[in-house]
Chain A
Amino acid sequence: MASPTTSLEMQRAVIFRADALEEIASTLRGQLASTRGSLHAALALVGALPKEVKDIVSREMSSTTDPTSQIQILRPLVRHLINVLGFVETYLSHGTRRELSESLADEIRGELADLGVADHQVVLSHGEANNYATWFGDLSEALFRPLGLASPQMPPAEKFALFRVPRLEGAGVQWRPVLLGHEAAHVAVKAKDAVTTFDLRNKFDMAAAGNFPNPKAPVGTSAPFIARALYQIAESWATELICDLQALHRFGPAAVASLAEYFECIGAMGQMSVTHPPAVLRIRVLLDEVGPIADGRLNSIVMPWSDYVPAAVTLSEPWAQHLAEIFTNNRSALSNAVAVLATSPYDFDGRREWVHRAADRLAIGLPGRDSVAVGGALQIAERADTVNAAWLARVEGADTPFDSLAQKTIESTDFAHNWRDSGGTVPLELHNRSDSVDAVLSDEAGAYVLSEDALLRRMQLDHNEKGLVVARPLPCLKVRVSI
Chain B
Amino acid sequence: MVTTYSSRGVSTSKYDLLHGGSEVVDLSLLAARTAAALRRVSVTGQPSEADAQVVHAMAHLLGEAAEAMQFFDSGGREGSPPSGALAARVDAAIDAVLEERLEPEEQTALSQRLSRLAARLDPSAEQLTPAEATNLADYFSGLASAVLDQAGHVGEITTTL
Contact residues of A with B, CB < 8 Å? 60, 63-64, 66, 68-69, 72-73, 75-77, 79-80, 83-84, 86-87, 90, 135, 141-143, 145-148, 150, 162, 196, 201, 204, 206-207, 210, 215, 220-222, 224-225, 227-228, 231-232, 273-275
Residues of B within 8 A of A73 (CB): 29, 32-33, 36
In angstroms, Cα B23 to Cα A162, docked, is 19
Residues of B within 8 A of A225 (CB): 72, 98, 107
9-residue interface stretch from B13-21, B112-120, B125-133 = B13-21
Are B72 and A135 neighbours in the complex by a CB distance under 8 Å? no
Residues of A within 8 A of B94 (CB): 228
Q: Least Cβ distance of B121 to chain A in Å?
A: 16
Are A86 and B81 neighbours in the complex by a CB distance under 8 Å? no
Residues of B within 8 A of A215 (CB): 3
In angstroms, Cα B33 to Cα A146, docked, is 12
In angstroms, Cα B26 to Cα A90, docked, is 21
Contacts A73-B32, A224-B107; A231 near B18 (Cβ below 8 A): no
* Partner of B28 from A76, A162, A231 at Cβ < 8 Å: A76
Nearest chain B residue, comparing its CB with the CB of A86: B16
The answer to whether the Cβ of B52 comes within 8 Å of any Cβ in the partner chain is no
Are B22 and A145 neighbours in the complex by a CB distance under 8 Å? yes
Are A224 and B17 neighbours in the complex by a CB distance under 8 Å? no
Residues of B within 8 A of A90 (CB): 16
Contacts A72-B32, A79-B148; A224 near B22 (Cβ below 8 A): no
Nearest chain B residue, comparing its CB with the CB of A227: B72
Residues of B within 8 A of A87 (CB): 16-18
Nearest chain A residue, comparing its CB with the CB of B48: A63
Are B91 and A221 neighbours in the complex by a CB distance under 8 Å? no
In angstroms, Cα B98 to Cα A220, docked, is 14
Interface of A, helix, strand, loop or mixed by DSSP: helix
Contacts A76-B148, A225-B107; A206 near B26 (Cβ below 8 A): no
Interface of B, helix, strand, loop or mixed by DSSP: helix
The answer to whether the Cβ of B62 comes within 8 Å of any Cβ in the partner chain is no
Instruction: Give 23 pairs: A residue, B residue, CB < 8 Å, sorted on A.
Output: A69-B32, A72-B35, A72-B36, A72-B144, A72-B145, A79-B25, A80-B25, A83-B16, A83-B25, A90-B16, A142-B22, A145-B26, A146-B25, A146-B26, A148-B54, A150-B53, A196-B83, A204-B76, A206-B76, A224-B73, A225-B72, A231-B81, A273-B3
Residues of B within 8 A of A220 (CB): 104
Residues of A within 8 A of B69 (CB): 224, 228
Are B30 and A221 neighbours in the complex by a CB distance under 8 Å? no
Q: Least Cβ distance of A163 to chain B in Å?
A: 12
Are B75 and A148 neighbours in the complex by a CB distance under 8 Å? no
Residues of B within 8 A of A143 (CB): 17
In angstroms, Cα B16 to Cα A228, docked, is 23
Are B17 and A148 neighbours in the complex by a CB distance under 8 Å? no
In angstroms, Cα B91 to Cα A162, docked, is 24
In angstroms, Cα B35 to Cα A118, docked, is 42
Are A83 and B22 neighbours in the complex by a CB distance under 8 Å? yes
In angstroms, Cα B70 to Cα A227, docked, is 12
Q: Least Cβ distance of B67 to chain A in Å?
A: 13
Closest 7 CB pairs of A and B: A206-B76, A72-B32, A83-B17, A146-B26, A76-B29, A228-B72, A146-B25
* Partner of B108 from A72, A146, A196, A224 at Cβ < 8 Å: A224
Which residues of chain B from 1 to 43 have any CB-CB distance to chain A below 8 Å in the complex? 2-3, 15-18, 21-26, 28-30, 32-33, 35-36, 39
